[in-house]
Amino acid sequence: MSKTLPLDKILQSQGFGTRKWCAELIEDGEVCVNGAVVTDSGARVATDGLQLTVYGEAWPYRERVYIALNKPSNYECSRKASHHPGVLKLLPEQFDRRDVQPVGRLDHDTTGLLLMSDDGPFIHRQSSPKHHVPKIYVATTHEPVTAALVEQLLKGVKLTDEPETLTAVSCRQLAEHEIEIVLAEGKYHQVKRMLVAAGNHCVSLRRAQIGLLKLDDLKLAVGEWCYLGDAELALLKPV
Ligand code: URA
């Protein structure tokens, strides 16, 4: 829905700092609205299709952001990272200020597709076990992958602390030491623990796909991110 808001408030919502800081930025002539400098910090501006320029850099207005990151190893998914830097360090600082958060978690040594957003209901939906968006992982294993391993993961394995047997939605061997595992839920260290329970061991793990959204299609180098538009978000529906 089209709405107008004071310019300093708009800038604050985009993660440029406190409202006071944003007002000063505007009064200093650092902000263009649809190509023209505006120095009145309280000017009401329509948010629909709004093209901001801040410090000479284009910044299209987004009410909410939906981001895909090709997560590198050695980054933590928590907002309060302790042993490794947090994934927010890989994004422009505006995102941290507007409370962008990882959608679910990957272990610090897991790489691949990580969604991030500042849309609470979206994060909740995507992380909810009821939502059942399948996640596709590719694991490199210590021992060779065997037909028995694939069968075991499909039949289900029992993990300590988990009341129910956990099964892979699907599973297939990709190479001698590589297996693709599709999971419907996201329990703590699930892929690694399932592989151990089935008699193997994970050497490295990458998330290749969430729902129908494939990391390869996004053409992101490791550590790169992009915005997700409506077409990509539609691929994240439960299947
Ligand atoms: N399963 C794991 O073991 N680790 C992850 O990071 C994701 C799924």
Provide the pLDDT confidence category of residue 154 given band limits of 50, 70 and 90.
Answer: very high
Residues with catalytic roles = 107
Q: What is the residue with the minimal CA distance to atom 3 of ligand 1?
A: 189
Nearest to 44 by CA among 26, 24, 63: 26
Q: What is the residue with the minimal CA distance to atom 2 of ligand 1?
A: 189
And the tokens for 202? 């994970």
Per residue in 172-197, pLDDT (tens digit) is 999 999 999 999 988 899 999 999 99
And the tokens for 203? 């050497």
Residue 105 Cα to ligand 1 midpoint, Å, equals 8
If one counts every other C-beta atom within 10 angstroms of the C-beta of residue 191, the result is 23
pLDDT on residue 11? 98
| Nearest atom in ligand 1 to 207's CA | 7
Provide the pLDDT confidence category of residue 239 given band limits of 50, 70 and 90.
Answer: low
| Nearest atom in ligand 1 to 186's CA | 8
| Nearest atom in ligand 1 to 194's CA | 3
Residue 149 Cα to ligand 1 midpoint, Å, equals 18
| Nearest atom in ligand 1 to 202's CA | 3
Between CA 126 and CA 113 the distance in angstroms is 14
Ligand 1 surroundings by CB, under 6 angstroms: 106-107, 110, 137, 189-192, 205
Per residue in 28-71, pLDDT (tens digit) is 999 999 999 999 999 999 999 999 999 999 999 999 999 999 99
Q: Which domains does the chain have, with CATH numbers?
A: 4-60 (3.10.290.10), 66-129+213-236 (3.30.70.580), 134-210 (3.30.70.1560)
Q: Which of 110, 127, 140, 183 to mutate to test the pocket of ligand 1 (most atoms within 8 A of CB)?
A: 110
Provide the pLDDT confidence category of residue 160 given band limits of 50, 70 and 90.
Answer: confident
Burial of 210 (C-beta count, 10 Å sphere; 0-12/13-18/19+): buried
Q: Contact 47/10 with Cβ under 8 angstroms?
A: yes
Please give the single-letter amino acid code of residue 120. Answer: G
Question: How does 10-44 read in b/e, with b if 16+ C-beta sit within 10 Å?
Answer: bbbbbbbbeeeebbebbeeebbbbeeeebeebeee
Nearest to 174 by CA among 136, 210, 211, 212: 136
Q: Contact 59/92 with Cβ under 8 angstroms?
A: no
Provide the pLDDT confidence category of residue 116 given band limits of 50, 70 and 90.
Answer: very high
Q: Which of 131-135, 147-151, 180-184 has the lowest mean pLDDT?
A: 131-135
Residue 188 Cα to ligand 1 midpoint, Å, equals 7
Between CA 138 and CA 15 the distance in angstroms is 35
Residue 125 Cα to ligand 1 midpoint, Å, equals 19
Nearest to 136 by CA among 69, 211, 196, 200: 211
